[in-house]
């Protein structure tokens, strides 16, 4: 996989329990690198849920503000540079 020179770098990632999310969106402004956004899709209870864009630092701010415990945070041993298209999240 080739990467672009200005491609985002991630030092961590999160997994999101989509079906547990009630759509409060508290995680969106809490994210320091601003790599969370609310999806246009909806979960089983009809609520939009956060989706992760490349560039996560693994800081855990989303985990700390989420009242529904939807996040699990992972940090990488070495930073991951994403490809321009099809970047993992």
Q: Give me the phi and psi of 58, to 5 degrees please.
A: 75, 25
Reduce the DSSP state of residue 73 to 3 states and report it: strand
**Whole-prediction pTM:** 0.77
pLDDT at 1 over 60: no
Expressed as residue numbers, the domain containing 53 is: 9-77
Q: Is 19 part of any domain?
A: yes
The CATH number given to whatever domain includes residue 63 is 3.30.70.20
Q: Is 53 part of any domain?
A: yes
pLDDT at 10 over 70: yes
Lowest mean pLDDT among 19-23, 29-33, 72-76: 72-76
Q: Is 34 part of any domain?
A: yes
Average pLDDT, integer, range 21-31: 98
Q: Is 66 part of any domain?
A: yes
pLDDT at 7 over 90: no
Residues contacting residue 27 through CB under 8 Å, at least 6 positions apart: 36, 50, 61, 62, 65, 66, 70, 71
Q: Is 84 part of any domain?
A: no
Question: How many structural domains compose the chain?
Answer: 1
Q: Is 65 part of any domain?
A: yes
For the segment 64-85, what is each residue's pLDDT rounded down to a tens digit? 999 999 999 998 888 878 764 4
Q: Is 43 part of any domain?
A: yes
């Amino acid at each position: 996989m080739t990467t672009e020179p200005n491609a985002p770098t991630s030092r961590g990632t999160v997994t999101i329990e989509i079906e547990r999310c009630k759509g409060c969106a508290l995680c969106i402004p809490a994210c320091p690198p601003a790599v969370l956004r609310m999806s246009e899709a909806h979960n089983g209870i009809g609520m939009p849920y956060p989706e992760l864009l490349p560039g996560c630092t693994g800081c855990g701010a989303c985990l700390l503000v989420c009242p529904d415990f939807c996040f699990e945070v992972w940090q990488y041993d070495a930073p991951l540079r994403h490809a321009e298209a099809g970047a993992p999240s």
